[in-house]
Structure 1
């Protein structure tokens, strides 16, 4: 199928980023969230992101302006009826995602694809909650979406070959590189990455080194572009904790136990860059 209109549910960090790259690729975008305020914030974020790309010479002003005209926003799920694919980009909570997926299914065409941007939740399990599971797939973008080229395309047990092919083609059109992944908790990248981040919190909690020293060690000693604790702040400490909890539940292996310090920071509302404080403090101005 030819995908020309992309629906996105969730105007937060991931949703507005996906909307930005889709609009730049010439696709129509319908961005849905629960409040006008959330939508306004999402559009403001992607508008600022596009402005930075223009300043850096990566996008020209006419392309930016054209992209912005392709984005529509609404709090009404009915606006998704014309979408060829709808990508759910809500918080990493299975119950919430299932509610959203059922709302999406109620309004889209029978041949429309429904995708989830989940970073850890089983695609097979999510697919089983809707009536056309063969049209369901995982499409895991990485933050920041406009800059990182990878998309994990996750096939659930029920996902059809046609759905996989259409989503891989869409991913390439968005200027991203798809990797095909079999359904498994955390898929590929987060299965490796988030436990490493969790171990960095244990090292910090044990006083083996300061946060700065841990991050410097991994940058200079392992050639990572960003240290694991700074990366946790970028991802969101709540997201890291949610992923670890999924791993612990689905694998039943104590090696996936979340570090108590990570859990405590989340309980304190110190979620990273998005709240102005996580492991580090940030100027939100």
Structure 2
């Protein structure tokens, strides 16, 4: 089985930064890459703040925190991934964009390296087809935010090898995560169930069944969900929700996966959720914009 000592992460947004932080805190050398130097600078500040909070709350020692920060490198150059044992992609949820990245990684990363995607819905088999190493391509879907959420969903493509699967599973378990395993069907496990629920919440709002507040309160208090579905959609990003619903509809061919017109309308209006300050709810009051990922 491949021994993973060095990790590359592509994308310095909330998911990529969180994955990089996890790997460093657990003693692995990490390169975090983004094409935008300003985004990398923000990620560096974000991760450092999270690690300091972990130290102050006694989750890790000062020495472990300092070591984690020393293990992190920030780069805009894919060539720095040459020696990575695994590269985890956490970029935009677009099959074409991911395939293009995997083609480049296939050329750069050493032959034994694993290429993993944090995709929440796109076929691993199709992503792997862009490379010369389908047996070493796998889905490693972290939940948001990665440092806090306890689950990793591992997805095997049609050609993913047992060795790749076992090495990826061992890495997730090193991160103290519970692993669930999905076959390569649209939406996998979590989003196959979650996104239709969110879409139905939009239908309930669209058809006037109830207010957004009552829909969310009903699911939080009636089914013990930590967030209501509309609040959760804002947290995930309405554009991401729409992308996943389109993938479910295309991949499974059932009209029940058609995106709600209201969801589409919100996106057309630029209401993408927390990240844009407004979605189903309005977050433009700075006091409402505290991110759960910053509270460790």
How would you bin the TM-score normalised by the shorter chain?
A: over 0.9
Query: Deviation digits for residues 25-48 of structure 1, max 9, x if unmatched?
Result: 000100111121121122222222
- TM-score if structure 2 supplies the norm length? 0.93
CA contact (8 A) 2:55 2:62 kept: yes
Is 1:28 the counterpart of 2:29? The answer is yes
Pair 1:59–1:207, CA change in 2 (3 A): farther
Q: Comparing both chains, which one has the higher relative contact order based on Cα–Cα distances under 8 Å and sequence gaps of 6 or more?
A: 2
Equivalent pair of 2:100/2:130 in contact (CA under 8 Å):
no
The count of aligned residue pairs is 285
CA distance 1:242–1:33, change in 2 (3 Å): same
Counterpart in 1 of 2:90? 89
TM-score after normalising by structure 1 = 0.97
Closer, same or farther: CA 269–44 of 1 in aligned 2, 3 Å: farther
Alpha-carbon distance between aligned partners in 2 of 1:257 and 1:181, rounded to the nearest angstrom:
23
Equivalence for 1:6: 7
Q: Which runs of 5+ in 2 are unaligned?
A: 291-296
The CA deviation at 1:193 is 0.4
Answer with 139-148 or 33-42: which moved more. Answer: 33-42
Structure 1 equivalent of residue 293 of structure 2: none
> Secondary structure at the residue paired with 2:280?
coil
Q: CA deviation at 1:267?
A: 2.0
In structure 2, the residue matched to 1:146 is: 147
- 3-state DSSP of counterpart to 2:122: coil
Measure, in 1, the Cα distance between the counterparts of 2:129 and 2:259.
28
Task: Structure 1: state its 5+ residue gaps.
Answer: none
* Superposed CA offset, 1:225-257 (max 9, x none): 111111111111111110001011111111101
Correspondence for 1:212: 213
